[in-house]
Copies of this chain bind each other. A is one copy, B any other.
C-alpha cells in the first residue's frame, strides 16, 4: 500500500490534469451541482467532462468498491480527496440521491445482480434516482402507507400515490416503499422496490409550495408492472431497509443546518448587519430594543446549538458513542431555522412582505420565500412532534 502522502500527490496530479480550471469556484445552481441522469443539466459546460473523467477514475463514488464503479478508497484516502477538491474550490463531480441514498442501501441490502445493474450507472451519472416514501395519508405514520403491490407471476403490479418525491420530474428511477402484504402487521407487509420511471403507468406532477416552485412532486402509479427481482432485501422486509435509510436522512438534515449554523458563529453578526441596514443605524446600539434582544437571543441559540454539534463531534472523534445530545439536532436545527428566517422577515419590516418585484429586491424576495419554505423544515424528514416523542421515549425513558 502506498503511503497517504503518495496518494495525495497522485490524486493532486490527476486533478491538475483532469479537473477543468473553468469550474473552480463556480456558483452552483439551486440544486447544487451535477445530478446526472438521462436529461442532465449542467451549471457550466465543463461540468460534463468533469463528471465523465471523474467517473472513469471511480471518483464520483470514491469509497465504493471498484467493481461497481467506485474508487475503492479507504476513509483516509477519501478524506484527502475531499481536501484536495476543497483546496482547488472544485465542485463534486456528481451528487444526488443515487450516491447518497440508494447506492449505500444497495451496497448493504442489495443482491449481487442489483449492485451490478445499478451501481455503475449511478457512478457514471447515467441514472438519476428519487425517493418514494410518503403518501397523502401517511406522513408521520409512514408505515401506514397504502400504495399497493399486487403479485402477478414474476411481477408486482403497483398502484398508488407518493408525495414529496423530490426531483421526481427529473429522475429516471425511483426507490419506493409499497404494501406487498395488506394482511400483515403494518410494518411487516412492506417491500422496498426499485421502479423504472419510464414504465407505463407512472406519472409525475410538481407540487408548488406556499413558497413557490419546489423540487417536490407527486408521483402516481397506475398498475405499473415491476419485476419481482427489483425488490431490495426480502419481499415484505422493506421496513428494515427504510428505517436504515430514514435514520441516514435525518442525520443529513441535521448536518446541513448544524454545519451552517456553526459557520455563522464566526462571521460577526449578520442579523445585526441586516438590522442596521433596515433601521438606518451605522454604529452603536441598535435603535430598536426589541429587535436587538431578539437578534441576540437568536445568536445565542445558534451558538449554543453550534457548540452542541461540536461537542457531539468532538466526542465522536474521541471514539465515544453518540451522546443523548445528538437526538436534539433535527428538531432544534429546524425550529431554529424557522425562528431565524421569521426574525429576518421581521427585521426587514414592510420590506419583508414581497412575493415578487417591483419594490422588493431579489434578496428580500429570497428571504421572504425562505421564511415560508422554512415552515416545512419541522414537517419534512420527521416532524418536530415525532422528534420530541423519540427524545421522550428513547432518551428520557418516559413510558408509552
Q: How far is the CA of A289 from the CA of B293 in the complex (A)?
A: 9
- Residues on A lying within 8 angstroms of B by beta carbon are 289-290, 292-293
Would you give 6 A-B contacts (Cβ < 8 Å), ordered by A?
A: A289-B289, A289-B290, A289-B292, A289-B293, A290-B293, A293-B293
> Lowest 6 CB-CB distances: which A-B pairs, in order?
A289-B289, A290-B293, A289-B293, A289-B290, A293-B293, A289-B292
Query: Which residues of the partner chain B approach A289 to less than 8 Å between Cβ atoms?
Result: 289-290, 292-293
A84 to chain B, nearest CB (A): 50
Chain B residues within an 8 Å CB radius of A290? 289, 293
Complex CA gap A293/B293 in Å reads: 10
A365 to B161, CA, bound (A): 65
How near does chain B come to A74, taking the closest CB pair, in angstroms?
54
- Report A297 CB to chain B, min CB distance, Å: 10
Bound complex: CA of A290 vs CA of B289, how far in Å? 8
Chain B residue numbers with a CB within 8 Å of A293 are 289-290, 293
Most chain B C-beta atoms within 10 Å of own C-beta, residue among A289, A292, A293? A289
CB distance from A296 to the nearest CB of B (A): 10
Residues in B whose Cβ lies below 8 Å from that of A292: 289
A288 closest partner in B (C-beta): B289
Query: In the complex, A131→B68 CA distance in Å?
Result: 79
Residue of B nearest to A293 (CB): B290
Cα-based distance from A356 to B292 in the complex (angstroms): 37
The closest CB in chain B to the CB of A290 belongs to B293
Q: In whole angstroms, what is the CA distance A289 to B287 when docked?
A: 11
Closest beta carbon of chain B to A318's beta carbon, Å: 39
CA distance A182 to B183 in the complex (A): 43
Nearest CB in chain B to that of A289: its residue: B289
A108 to B289, CA, bound (A): 58
Whole-angstrom CA separation of A81 from B293 in the bound complex: 53
Q: In the assembly, what is the distance between CA of A293 and CA of B292, in Å?
A: 12
A224 to chain B, nearest CB (A): 37
Q: A289 to B296, alpha carbons, bound, how many Å?
A: 14
How many angstroms from the CA of A292 to the CA of B292 in the assembled complex? 14
A293, B289: Cα distance in complex, Å:
9
Q: Which residue of B lies closest to A285 (CB)?
A: B289
Considering the chains assembled together, what is the distance between the CA atoms of A292 and B290 in angstroms? 10
**Cα–Cα, bound, A290→B293 (Å):** 8
Query: What separation, in Å, do the CA atoms of A289 and B292 have in the docked complex?
Result: 10
